Amino acid sequence: MSDRILASQARPLARVKSWDLEADVVVVGLGIAGACAAMEAADAGADVLVLERAGAGGGTSANSGGLVYLGGGTPVQKACGFDDTPDEMFAFLAAISEPGADSERIRLFCDESVEHFHWLESKGLTFKRSFYEEPGLESMTDDCLVYTGGENCHPWSGLARPAARGHKPQTVGKAGPFLMQCLLASVDRHPLRSEANVLVETLVVDAAGAVVGCVARRAGRELLVRARRGLVLAAGGFIMNEEMLALHAPTLLRCNVRNGVDGDDGRGIRMGQGAGGDVLRMGLGEVALPSTIPNRLSRGIYLNRHGQRFINEDTYYGHVGIEGLLRQDGKVYLLLDENSYERGLVGLEPRWVAETIAELEREAGFPDGALQATVELYNRHAAQGEDPVFHKRKEMIRPVDTPPFALIDSGTDAAIWATFTIGGLRTDRDARVLTPDGLAISGLYAAGRSAALFCGQGYPGSGISLADASYFGRRAARHAAAQGH
Ligand SMILES: Cc1cc2nc3c(=O)[nH]c(=O)nc-3n(C[C@H](O)[C@H](O)[C@H](O)COP(=O)(O)OP(=O)(O)OC[C@H]3O[C@@H](n4cnc5c(N)ncnc54)[C@H](O)[C@@H]3O)c2cc1C
């Protein structure tokens, strides 16, 4: 069996003769989870050491869109006229994350989201007090607030008061690099040590099973690192490990873009397993189907391989992606007409164009009459401004009736499908790693994509991963820093 899927067995303390480095809190990985954990532990007065395998910090966080999911009444939400509360945020996240949601962690995440917003600003991030109208997407301007989880779409709009919660740090264009630039600069201003080009390979456990350090490698030489109060695994997920994907999340292998860096090889998770940690939700991922971009194209109709609709087209593209991948076999088409189609959108070139729906149906090979029936039913209701089947928002409803008609092949064989893993080590409210029996492993914490996200299904919306990683990185650090005091 490949050692890329095996747990990295922890080294017994009895085999450690001496330590090369020591700290109260050792943080493995310097992406957003690691950066926030390190700063929080230092602020709590702990002696902190960060170990990063790459030449510098940043990780996948620095390649991301930079959207951070925050709510409950942040200053940006208030300035933009959104009346959000922790309860409304919880109602949305808990509902969208069922079945199997971790409601205790969701509750904390919502209750402390405004505080977390202020903390991020105190660490050098700024968020412009402005709203960006185009849902689902980070703005290309420096505007901030955006709907990222379909909060204003069916069925969620009926379960919780809709509020935009995607917060983009204030910069023009993609915000991930800027986000990490700000946080890493802030890390440098904290009294802590950080070592690059150090690959952590496994953990060290004492006779009682507590994690007391780790074994790392720097320039080919083994380093033994003692963690006096705790060790935080913030080493990313496993999207770049084909063997782990094949074992745990084979469906995600159908996505042709893997959102990660080399460090996302699952080692953090496997180190946790080697110290007795349990894993959760390993089959789940975020699945982005970018052909819903821009959102105004959702005036068209999504179709499955039978020529039938399967979702309200205006929802978050990650929901379309999960539904399309898991339940529609990755075969997804977008039907547009002369009114809804826009020329020149990269990746959205039609595969078939025809003057009638019947012709398009034949050319694309849908079952006889299927597409015609779908379009007839949709148009009949759309003429009244209604969508009684999937409840698309009124402003997105328009009959698809003006030739020529275009069909974009958005299937996994034809379009870009991007994914990252959201399963990982099972953790509690303080990001302590739990055994299969639900017991916390003393000294061991996990945050970011080394830990399982709190949702039971799919991915709730853009911005959740950076928010979860930064928030639970901080909780891990606070708990670890308080040990032995
Ligand atoms: C294109 C793209 C867009 C995205 N957009 C968004 C978005 O807008 N909002 C959002 O919430 N999420 C987004 N995501 C997802 C998000 O970026 C990640 O899920 C998140 O950054 C994970 O943070 P992390 O701290 O867990 O991991 P990382 O940021 O990857 O950090 C982990 C660090 O650990 C290091 N490391 C790994 N193994 C070891 C080891 N054994 N020893 C030492 N160091 C190690 C790595 O080198 C890395 O620096 C996006 C992802 C991509 C790729």
154-205 pLDDT, tens digit per residue, is 999 999 999 999 999 999 999 999 999 999 999 999 999 999 999 999 999 9
Does the CB atom of residue 139 touch ligand 1 within 6 A? no
Q: Rounded to whole angstroms, how far apart are CA atoms 287 and 421? A: 9
Assess contact for 202 and 224: CB atoms under 8 A: no
Cβ within 8 Å of residue 421, ≥6 positions away? 237, 238, 239, 245, 249, 252, 264, 282, 284, 285, 449
Q: Rounded to whole angstroms, how far apart are CA atoms 411 and 262? A: 27
Expressed in angstroms and rounded, the spacing between residue 218 Cα and the centre of ligand 1 is: 22
Instruction: Flag whether pLDDT at 64 surpasses 80.
Output: yes
Residue % of the chain over a pLDDT of 90: 88
Q: How confident is the model at residue 290 (pLDDT cuts 50, 70, 90)?
A: low
Expressed in angstroms and rounded, the spacing between residue 181 Cα and the centre of ligand 1 is: 14
Pairing status of strand 333-336 against strand 145-146: unpaired
Instruction: Flag whether pLDDT at 10 surpasses 60.
Output: yes
pLDDT on residue 2: 79
Q: Which of 310, 256, 266, 292 is nearest to 419 (CA)?
A: 256
To the question of pTM greater than 0.95 for the whole model, the response is: yes
Instruction: Flag whether pLDDT at 292 surpasses 60.
Output: no
Expressed in angstroms and rounded, the spacing between residue 257 Cα and the centre of ligand 1 is: 15
pLDDT on residue 289: 79
Q: Rounded to whole angstroms, how far apart are CA atoms 225 and 228? A: 10
pLDDT on residue 345: 72
Taking each helix axis as running N to C, give the angle between helix 464-481 and helix 32-43, from 0 to 180 degrees, rounded to the nearest 10.
30
**SS3 for 69?**
strand
At 168, list the tokens: 């983009």
Query: How many CB atoms neighbour CB 114 within 10 A?
Result: 21
* Most confident of the following: 42-56, 128-142, 297-311, 340-354: 42-56
How far is CA 38 from each of CA 18, 27, 228, 289, 313, rounded to the nearest angstrom?
24, 7, 15, 34, 41
Which residue has the least CA distance to atom 2 on ligand 1? Answer: 64
Please identify, by atom number, the ligand 1 atom nearest to the C-alpha of residue 199.
42
How far is CA 409 from each of CA 256, 334, 335, rounded to the nearest angstrom?
15, 7, 9
Which residue has the least CA distance to atom 3 on ligand 1? Answer: 64
Strand partners, 409: 333
Using CB atoms within 10 Å of the CB of residue 66, give its burial: 0 to 12 exposed, 13 to 18 middle, 19+ buried. buried
Does the CB atom of residue 61 touch ligand 1 within 6 A? yes
Expressed in angstroms and rounded, the spacing between residue 32 Cα and the centre of ligand 1 is: 7
Q: How confident is the model at residue 252 (pLDDT cuts 50, 70, 90)?
A: very high
Please identify, by atom number, the ligand 1 atom nearest to the C-alpha of residue 32.
25
Instruction: Flag whether pLDDT at 314 surpasses 70.
Output: yes
Q: Which helix (H) or strand (E) holds 333?
A: strand 333-336
Helix residue spans in 253-356 (DSSP H): 267-274, 317-326
pLDDT on residue 485: 60
Pairing status of strand 21-28 against strand 193-195: unpaired
- The stretch 280-284 carries a mean pLDDT of 96
Which residue has the least CA distance to atom 31 on ligand 1? Answer: 31
Please identify, by atom number, the ligand 1 atom nearest to the C-alpha of residue 175.
8
Assess contact for 80 and 164: CB atoms under 8 A: yes
Residue % of the chain over a pLDDT of 70: 98
Query: Across all residues in the chain, what is the average pLDDT?
Result: 95
- The stretch 105-126 carries a mean pLDDT of 98
Does the CB atom of residue 340 touch ligand 1 within 6 A? no
Using CB atoms within 10 Å of the CB of residue 103, give its burial: 0 to 12 exposed, 13 to 18 middle, 19+ buried. middle
pLDDT on residue 291: 57
Expressed in angstroms and rounded, the spacing between residue 175 Cα and the centre of ligand 1 is: 14
Instruction: Flag whether pLDDT at 3 surpasses 90.
Output: no
pLDDT on residue 84: 98
At 112, list the tokens: 């402390």
Who wins on pLDDT, 293 or 223? 223
At 413, list the tokens: 């064989």
Q: Which of 219, 153, 254, 237 is nearest to 420 (CA)?
A: 237
Q: How confident is the model at residue 38 (pLDDT cuts 50, 70, 90)?
A: very high
- Among the residue ranges 24-28, 85-89, 139-143, 271-275, the one predicted with the least confidence is 139-143
